[in-house]
Amino acid sequence: MSSSNSQVITCKAVVCWGEGEPLKVEDIEVEPPKSDEVRVKMLYASICHTDLLCSKAFPLPLFPRVLGHEGVGVVESVGEEVKEVKEGDVVIPTYIGECKECENCTSGVSNLCLKYPLIINGLMLDGSSRMSIRGQNLYHLFTCSTWSEYMVINAYYVLKLDPSIANFSHASFLSCGFSTGFGAAWKEFNVENGSSVAVVNGARMQGAAKIIGVDKNKWKKEKGEVFGMTDFINPSESDKSVSELIKEITNGMGVDCSFECTGVATLANEALESTKLGKGKAVIIGASNDGSMPIGVLSLLLGRSLKGSIFGGLKTKSDLPIILDKYKNKEFQLDELLTHEVQMEDINKAIELLKEPDCVKVLIKI
Ligand SMILES: [Zn+2]
Ligand SMILES: [Zn+2]
């Protein structure tokens, strides 16, 4: 398959010029894909907490940079070695790949492929950028920069959507947000009938007998219930700690597993402490600017375990298609997560919207 378009494309993209600076929609240049890459015309993108962290120099101060890692788009052109997708395919980008051959891929315990890893240096696998502005190279965000009319991504990091799906827009949430939560319950803690789960700051789980959502935003209660939440704790309505409140509604036992979505040290400790003595597990699934976190040693000594997870432990070729099938068969209601829709030009307004109490997911029309 050869590339139909080997020209540089000038298009609009959201550029972050520095830590804390307002985002700007600017004309940028996007190069054609190299041999194992594809160029994608983005249709929709969405905002994840990690985009905002990256605009604040997390984990590295890489500027200027095109943000965004959730999205859905159409393959515009492909490099000559690409076999996985062709022009016109509708795809979602993923920020980790799966080679199915490396030590981690074959281990059965990790989704962090060593050949197609999570890339944090803002460049493509070959160490260069495909985006520039007025002659200056732009950094990508992970393998993708979805807040752009066009982006180039390695073909191993895209997944084709079934063309029979009627409405593609919500598929954007599958690139990170929804899949991370769904995957964490499925892969990181095999939620079984009768088990109890707490989700701190992110009501997006399903599958257990008792699912406790924890959030200061009381509006999340309603959204969480759509996704199977059975109990809700609003920590700002009590003087007690989150772990005390969770133990109160689990007969003093705590939960089998807790998922912590913010990466904030105090909440991570509460998530750990809220799990069962001797066997509870806390999984950190979100990042924060806390570079390190002190952890209660006693909590750990008492048989609990703490681990972190990227993309909910999902393997992008083996597991994500199963979620795509569930999405196609309407087994979960992704549209329930969508609360706001904006044009790309209004990106700064979109970021303000995230502070609104009723905001869950913002869809960006590219
Ligand atoms: Zn691998
Ligand atoms: Zn994300």
Q: Closest-lying ligand to the alpha carbon of 68?
A: 2
* Residue range of the domain that includes 66: 9-175+333-365
CA–centroid distance, 49 to ligand 2, in Å, is 6
Q: Closest-lying ligand to the alpha carbon of 110?
A: 1
Checking if the pLDDT of 97 tops 50, the result is yes
The enclosing domain of 156 has a CATH number of 3.90.180.10
Residues with CB under 5 A from ligand 2 (ion): 48, 50, 176
Q: Closest-lying ligand to the alpha carbon of 114?
A: 1
CA–centroid distance, 201 to ligand 2, in Å, is 14
pLDDT digits (tens, 9 = 90+) for 331-360: 888 888 888 999 999 999 999 998 888 888
Per-residue confidence (pLDDT) for residue 186, from 0 to 100 = 84
- 37 with 168, same domain: the answer is yes
Checking if the pLDDT of 123 tops 60, the result is yes
Tokens, residue 306: 């703490």
CA–centroid distance, 132 to ligand 1, in Å, is 30
- 205 with 169, same domain: the answer is no
Q: How many CB atoms within 10 Å of residue 331? A: 10
- 152 with 243, same domain: the answer is no
The enclosing domain of 229 has a CATH number of 3.40.50.720
- 169 with 195, same domain: the answer is no
Checking if the pLDDT of 226 tops 60, the result is yes
- 54 with 147, same domain: the answer is yes
DSSP E strand stretches across 21-171:
24-30, 37-46, 65-66, 70-78, 90-93, 131-133, 136-137, 150-154, 158-160
CA–centroid distance, 218 to ligand 2, in Å, is 23
Q: How many CB atoms within 10 Å of residue 117? A: 17
Per-residue confidence (pLDDT) for residue 193, from 0 to 100 = 65
CA–centroid distance, 259 to ligand 2, in Å, is 15
Q: Is 37 helix (H, G, I), strand (E, B) or coil?
A: strand
* Residue 285 included in any domain: yes
4 pLDDT tier (thresholds 50, 70, 90): low
pLDDT digits (tens, 9 = 90+) for 5-34: 789 999 999 999 999 899 999 999 999 999
Mean pLDDT of the chain: 91
CA–centroid distance, 300 to ligand 2, in Å, is 28
Domain count, the chain: 2
Q: Span 53-59, mean pLDDT?
A: 93
Q: 264-302: buried (b, 16+ CB within 10 Å) or exposed (e) per residue?
A: beebbbbbbbbbbeeebbbbbbbbbeeeeeeebeebeeb
- 123 with 225, same domain: the answer is no
Q: Closest-lying ligand to the alpha carbon of 102?
A: 1
pLDDT digits (tens, 9 = 90+) for 125-155: 999 999 999 999 999 999 899 999 999 999 9
Q: Span 100-125, mean pLDDT?
A: 96
Per-residue confidence (pLDDT) for residue 184, from 0 to 100 = 86
- Sheet containing strand 231-233, strands side by side: 231-233, 210-214, 196-200, 257-260, 281-284, 305-308
- 169 with 185, same domain: the answer is no
Q: Closest-lying ligand to the alpha carbon of 98?
A: 1
Residues with CB under 5 A from ligand 1 (ion): 99, 102, 105, 113, 115
* Residue 1 included in any domain: no
* Residue 210 included in any domain: yes
- 63 with 82, same domain: the answer is yes
Q: Span 311-316, mean pLDDT?
A: 95
